[in-house]
Amino acid sequence: MTANNSETHPWHLHGHNFWVLGYGDGKFDKSKDPKGYNLVDPILKNTVPLHPYGWTALRFQADNPGVWFFHCHVDAHLFMGMGVVFEEGIEYVKKLPSSIMGCGGK
């Protein structure tokens, strides 16, 4: 995850906890930054701040089938699209009732 603006974004993952492997300032450098990851005893969380102009590296175990939301907890940012949906083990998730697909409309 990277933030290219001057605000801190509290990111939250539903359905899982995750390990925070590392974080830093500036643009993530895939050849350098992973060498500093904490793979021994990383902190376990479900919400983490993404600091201004920085990056955060996370790891989670996909062991809870469902449709899970990962999003910024600042409502205005969420409403502008700062979120993603993970479909995990979707073959195990039951089909949604057709009545909810149109928000109950006929």
> pLDDT digit string (tens) for 40-96?
999 999 999 999 999 999 999 999 999 899 999 999 988 999 999 988 998 887 776
pLDDT at 15 over 60: yes
Strand arrangement, sheet containing 47-50: 47-50, 9-13, 66-72, 83-88
> pLDDT digit string (tens) for 26-52?
999 999 999 999 999 999 999 999 999
Q: What count of residues does the chain have?
A: 106
Q: What is the dihedral of CA 4, 1, 45, 71, to 10 degrees?
A: 80
- Sorted by where each starts, the structural domains of the chain and their CATH numbers stand as 9-101 (2.60.40.420)
- What is the pTM for the complete model shown? 0.80
